[in-house]
Structure 1
Amino acid sequence: MNLTMLKAKLHRAAVTQCDLHYEGSISIDKDLLEKSGILPNEQVDVLNINNGERFTTYAIEAPAGSRMIGINGAGARKAQVGDLVIIIAYAQMSEEEAKSYTPRVVLMGEGNAVV
């Protein structure tokens, strides 16, 4: 049996832009992707702390050092610039693997700086 476990999380990231007319996805600063272990094109869930909205999309790379968290496409209807979000990636693993796996959790602070 495989379990779906938390792989990585960016906690309390601030949305820096919303682009309704982009084809979709969430743009995440390349440095934040690397710190969290989330890969470009990986499926993620986005949980909006401000309004309770949740949606699934995929991550794309924003320029390194930009601290960008950009909600694109239809997801842009579920967030506003300044909203705090939690971005979560999951992984499938056996129960045995899950018992020893530690997810990467990146806590975000002011201006999307890593705390």
Structure 2
Amino acid sequence: MQKFLGVWGAENAHKEPLRRVNPELVDTVSLARADGLIKEKGKASFTLSEKGDRFLALIGVDFELLKAEKKFLARIRPLTATGMWERLGAVHATSERAGDSA
């Protein structure tokens, strides 16, 4: 979490892709999708599903439950897609063509 927060708060954070800082994020999003907690909103954005909303409400009732995670998320609020891309930069897929040398 500390490395992520360091990149999140850095002036030129976009120079280091988020997936390199926190590779577990891709796995977390995949698991949340598979469990039906989130649904795709656009090409690269997600929103909570009804199930996700109910789960969030249950988590919010118990202050001690996921306390460290709640504290972490509070540090990066507000968390919007636009704000994330501004702080971390867009992640672009790259491909190497056969025969290209690095």
TM range (shorter): under 0.3
The two structures have a TM-score, normalised by structure 2, of 0.24
Structure number with the bigger relative contact order (C-alpha 8 A, sep ≥ 6) is: 1
Which structure shows the bigger proportion of residues in helix conformation? 2
TM-score, structure 1 length as denominator?
Answer: 0.23
